[in-house]
Amino acid sequence: MTKLLIASNNKAKIEEFREIFKGYRYNVVSMDDIGLTINVEEDQPDFAGNSFKKAKEVSAKTGEIVLADDSGLEVEALNGQPGVFSSRFAGEKANDTDNNNKLLSLMMNVPDKKRRARFRCVITIFWPDGTYLQTEGTCPGKIAFKPVGEGGFGYDPLFLPTGLNKSMAELTADEKNKISHRAIATKAMVELLSKKKVEEI
């Protein structure tokens, strides 16, 4: 198996990646697993830029093959907000509850038909020789009027995926990994690697 370092300190996100990569020949490890602490400033204007920057910087500092993602929620009624600011929507030290409360406050008077949104994820895999690949995944849905469910993280309790009668936070790991933006981007990456005849990463 080839080691694949995930450039994230988000334990829930890392577990998602581990689940998604099951069955493939990749040994997914976190920065925690190897005793690494690197904080890359996410100062790029879009998900692609942040994903690329994180993967490149962590690879440069570790010499490892690195996977980084940048993902977030884009709400139509808020002109695409919170977007790249999803994790810090309510402030630099905001937690999930803070961010969800701010979103609900801003959406308070928005009717059901205008609450469309999508989760979006861009993944970059960066090799120490400077080679990289990038893929994107989206999951359409709408914003609920109140949080529902105990699973997932981030905005999952407020996000109702299109075609389902429950929130992202009510889905099992298997259910979520079939439709999530992160799963779609990851599967696209695996397919891209296969098409490019990269035997292993």
Q: Which residues contact 59 (CB under 8 A, 6 or more apart)?
A: 5, 65, 66, 126, 127, 128
**Contact between residue 148 and residue 168 where contact means Cβ atoms under 8 Å apart:** no
User: Two tokens at 51?
Assistant: 């994903």
3-class state of residue 142 by DSSP: strand
Q: Can you state the angle between helices 181-195 and 11-20, rounded to 10 degrees? A: 50
Pick the catalytic residue: 32, 43, 69, 70?
A: 70
* Residue 177, H or E segment: helix 173-179
Angstrom distance (rounded) from CA 142 to CA 164? 11
Among this protein's residues, is 70 annotated catalytic?
A: yes
Q: How much of the chain is in helix, strand and coil states, percent to nearest 5?
A: 40, 25, 40
Catalytic amino acids? 70
